[in-house]
Structure 1
Amino acid sequence: MFQSFQPENVVNTPFLFLTGKGGVGKTSIACATAVALADSGNRVLLISTDPASNLQDVFCIELTNSPKPIPNVKNLYASNLDPVAAAHSYREKVVGPYREKLPESVISSMEEQLSGACTVEIAAFDEFTSLLTNNEFTSQYEHIIFDTAPTGHTLRLLQLPTAWTGFLDESTHGASCLGPLSGLAEKKDLYSQTVDVLSDPMQTTLILVTRPDISALFEANRAANELQEIGVRNQLVIVNGLLENYLKEDEVSLAFFERQRKALQLIPDTLKQSDIYSLPFVSHSLTGVDNLRQLFRQHAVPSQELVHVDNDKMPTLNDIVDDFSVNDTRLIFTMGKGGVGKTTIASAIAVGLVEKGHRVHLTTTDPAAHLDYQFQNVHLNENLTISNINPKEEVEKYKAEVLANANEALDVEGLAYLQEDLNSPCTEEIAVFRAFADVVAKSSDEIVVIDTAPTGHTLLLLDAAQSYSKEIARSTGEVPESVTKLLPQIRDPKQTSVVIVTLAEPTPVLESSRLQADLKRANINPKWWIINQSLSATNTMDPVLRGKAASEKKWIYEVNEKIADKCAIIPWLNEEKVGYDKLKDYMK
């Protein structure tokens, strides 16, 4: 379908950046590419800027900020940049001078505003900027590969001149994040040089990694558009995990194959403009140099079940619904990375509770047509109501409100900074959460199930904004009454439960674990985890899928025994559960 990705034939720039949503295989491809290029005689440096980097697990060697040679691969070096530690240092640099001088609520607000994803990403960018702009250092390598590229939002921030002024020291405009660049003015020239390198097609190749499923493809398309807008146009696409053949007599194998092919028929137009390559679905773990070398050679490596897990003894989704019904849980959130099945699980929980006699309101932030598709526009049970919250509409409403309340004295550059600050990922969470709060405030005598909940950082940010607006008269970051009332309710385990949905794969599990830690900072303890779409819980006989099922065991054990308070498992299903009656199948 697509040409096979062979790094030595494709890569011809000194710098490579890999990007894509969590769980698509960025790190595995980055590591395998580094090994292949080094085996071809090139001197290669591999750098991870991921806060949860697992380069050390892949190569079985402890890594630091300084490059270390990788055993058994001549010419290959690797390092882990720690953006979390860098972000902590940066926060203290910005906030430290104000301690003992400003009220504690103001300090708390500043700290939380500098705890978001944007600050961590800027800190990571700050770390590798020093590498990219050091010609003496970069000249030692033919290729430098970065696992995890900066987003278009971060790069646009770096290009705004107002980010280097004192604007943020004098303005609290009510946007979602305090500008993460406000304390880094001395590095303006270095950042500009780095952005220039990124947008130079002779120096940099951006690799968009995706899976053959709709959500991953559309996330890659979004990233492609964002980066093209700021000049990063030398892009190529890798469709990772393509099942190349299927076992005719195996229903799981056939359904898996057909679902991938249907998704690839919907490849977005922007991705079609780039060269598209593929890599096969592999059953073996991509750890260790030998296994990495096999990825591009497409030789099968036997998988071993290193951990025994008895899936039959784990709870099911029906057990979770029983728990919510018996304990009269009034507010239920489903959370997790994109593509793990949150919306379907939220819908199934809502249907399950209705079938037990409860009145339920289901709402989601997926595009408006999604729940219509999920329920097929058929007549619903009278005890189930549904609403859709459109993130784009809510963000635009929130932006308009903030801009209308902003300081009239803002100059053109100040306004440009404020508008880009409002493009922060946190803005969408806050805008959507306000809409959630309105839905809950209007609901009575019913259970509310909400798909895609705000992170702990967003909840703390809203809390901080509430205190901050009381302390600082010039602040316009007002918190609506519906949000003020909802925050305590979310923290009350007798009223609210959070369900974290994941896949039995390293990245979704690790990122969900970080999500749980984030929520706990906000005094919210997720009660249930769901391992969704598990091949290990099926009876597939396909040798490749069976191998993948075996590799899932480790992550099922990690979640069930070490991370989650309670954990349920749902098998990979041969058919998509669409329609009210089909969703009831989850309760069987």
Structure 2
Amino acid sequence: MEPFVFFGGKGGVGKTTVSCAYGYKCASAGLSTLVVSTDPAHSVSDVFDQSFGDEPASVAGVDGLDAMEIDPDDEVQRHLDSIREGLSEQVSAAMVNEINRQLEMSHGTPGAYEAALFDAFVGVMREESEPYDRVVFDTAPTGSTLRLLGLPEFLGDWIDRLLYKRRQSIDLFEKAAVGDMEPRRVMDGDPVVARLQERKAFFEYAGETLRNDAAFFLVLNPDQLSVNETGRAIEAFHERDLAVRGLVANKLTPSPDDDEDGRGARYLRERVETERDRLEQVESTFTPPLVATIESRTREVRGDLLAEVAAALDVDPAPAVEH
């Protein structure tokens, strides 16, 4: 199994439960494991019944398992502050106020949110993963995740174009030097070029790592809306040259005992039959295999129930490849 494992899916399907259960499974197998939440719902703290922040912290009672939660609002502010600091050093004082105004306007936009969150989870992969054999991501809902995963190629090309324009402008500036003016060789050490090259390297790392060192699993519920969403997600991953390794069917209805024949039992049997049809549709239509079918529980999944869900996951926690 790759060092980075992502569990995605439609909002509310149970990604956090499955992510935490797989992290528990890896740690129980002797792997030093980190569970990272990038979902705004932040339920990892609820599953482990303790608070987590943006730095890895040990999960109480589980040896070898750490967890952290990335707060989207904090990441957006940190991301914009970084942009503001970088630009303020490279433009005239007259432009600083305008930059601040534009950045404040962008604070609540989806683009700022997704760019910040993308930087955060790639930053974890790049800077926080060294002590761990396995890093498990509880990702945001499918649509947001796919937009994030599409950024490396898109922004890499965009940065290439910006670099080309910047180099052109510097070249024209140098050629414009006449008379007693000495040409200024500003290409070497130019802060804008340096910043663009730094971002390009960041996105190249992200794209390469996501394709070569990451495994993606999708969590679904046995209803038609969830199945349809999963199908669209599989196609979108394929378009980005990212393979979905497997599917996890969560929140299945338990079957009643054979001798039960009341109204509730009849309802459950009909629901179980419908869900079986959906699972047959999943198995016959989608290429990624079902790696787990997990029944609903009457109480929140934590403690001993987390161990049960972990046992139901047929996802091998074999030692990670070197990274």
Please give the TM-score of this superposition, normalised by the length of structure 2. Answer: 0.72
Letter in 1 for 2:209: V
In structure 2, the residue matched to 1:241 is: 251
Say whether residues 1:284 and 2:284 are aligned partners.
no
1:156 to 132, 143, 150: 150
Residues 332-371 of structure 1 aligned to structure 2 (within 5 Å): none
Write the letter of the residue equivalent to 2:267.
Answer: V
Match of 2:204 among 181, 187, 192: 192
- CA distance in 2 between counterparts of 1:144 and 1:65 reads 15
Q: Say if 1:241 and 1:282, in contact at 8 Å, map to a contact too.
A: yes
Q: Does 1:273 align with 2:283?
A: no
Determine helix, strand or coil for the equivalent of 2:150. helix
**Deviation digits for residues 111-161 of structure 1 (CA, Å, limit 9, x no counterpart):** 455523343222122112223224xx5342221101106633332232123
From 214, 231, 237, the equivalent of 2:224 is: 214
1:35 matched to 2:24? The reply is yes
What CA distance in whole angstroms lies between the structure 1 residues aligned with 2:295 and 2:135? 26
Q: Give the alignment's Cα RMSD to 1 decimal.
A: 2.9
Describe the shift of the 1:234–1:222 C-alpha distance in structure 2 as closer, same or farther (beyond 3 A).
closer
Identify the residue that residue 115 of structure 1 maps to in structure 2. 108
Q: Write out per-residue CA displacement over residues 502-521 of structure 1, whole angstroms, 9 at most, x where no aligned residue.
A: xxxxxxxxxxxxxxxxxxxx
For residues 101 and 293 of structure 1, do their structure 2 counterparts lie closer, same or farther at Cα, with a shift above 3 Å needed?
Answer: closer
After TM superposition, list the pairs within 5 Å mapping 1:144-183 onto structure 2: 144-148=135-139, 151-160=145-154, 161-164=156-159, 166=162
Tell whether the 8 Å contact from 2:247 to 2:289 is kept in structure 1 after alignment: yes
- The residue type paired with residue 76 of structure 1 is L
Residue of structure 1 in register with 2:270 after alignment: 255
SS in structure 1 at match of 2:291: strand
Correspondence 1:8-23 to 2 at 5 A = 12-23=1-12
Give the secondary structure class of the aligned counterpart of 1:235: strand
**Where in structure 1 are there 5+ consecutive unaligned residues?**
1-11, 168-183, 299-588
Native 8 Å contact 2:34 2:65 kept in 1 = yes
1:50 maps to 39
Q: Cα deviations across residues 456-507 of structure 1 (Å, max 9, x unaligned)?
A: xxxxxxxxxxxxxxxxxxxxxxxxxxxxxxxxxxxxxxxxxxxxxxxxxxxx
Aligned residue type for 1:154: L
Write out aligned runs for 1:139-538 (5 A): 139-148=130-139, 151-160=145-154, 161-164=156-159, 166=162, 185=196, 186-200=198-212, 203-246=213-256, 247-249=260-262, 250=264, 251-267=266-282, 272-297=286-311
Structure 1 residue 87 displacement after superposition = 1.0
Q: CA deviation at 1:234?
A: 4.6
Deviation at 1:263, TM superposition (A): 3.0
Aligned 8 A contact 1:244 1:280 in 2: no
SS at 2:114's partner residue?
A: helix
Q: CA deviation at 1:195?
A: 1.5
Matched residues in 2 for 1:94 and 1:43: separation?
34
Instruction: Give structure 1 regions of 4+ aligned residues with deviation exceeding 6 angstroms.
Output: none
Does the 8 A contact of 1:209 with 1:237 survive in 2?
A: yes
Q: In the alignment, what sits opposite 2:122?
A: 129
What is the match of residue 177 of structure 2?
Answer: none
**Relative contact order, higher structure (CA 8 A, sep 6+):** 2
Q: TM-score, normalised by structure 1?
A: 0.41
Between 1:215-224 and 1:23-32, the stretch displaced more is: 215-224
Cα distance between partner residues in 2 of 1:234 and 1:293:
24
Q: Deviations over 1:4-56 (max 9, x none)?
A: xxxxxxxx221100100111000000011111111111111111111221211
AA aligned to 1:159 is E
Check the 8 A contact 2:4/2:136 in 1, yes or no.
yes
User: Is the 2:38–2:117 contact (alpha carbons within 8 Å) kept by the matching residues of 1?
Assistant: yes
Alpha-carbon distance between aligned partners in 2 of 1:22 and 1:217, rounded to the nearest angstrom = 13
> Take 1:19 and 1:258, find their aligned partners in 2: how far apart are those partners?
26
**Structure 2 runs not aligned, ≥5 long:** 89-94, 164-194, 313-323
Change (3 A) 1:115 1:244: same
Q: 1:133 to 1:93 in 2, by over 3 A?
A: closer
Percent identical pairs in the alignment equals 24
Query: Structure 1 residues 140, 254: CA separation in 2 closer, same or farther (over 3 Å shift)?
Result: same
| 8 Å Cα contact 1:57-1:287 kept in structure 2 | no
CA change 1:87–1:252 in 2 (3 A) is: same
Residues in 1 aligned to 2:251 and 2:39: alpha-carbon distance in whole angstroms: 21
1:70 to 45, 59, 65: 59
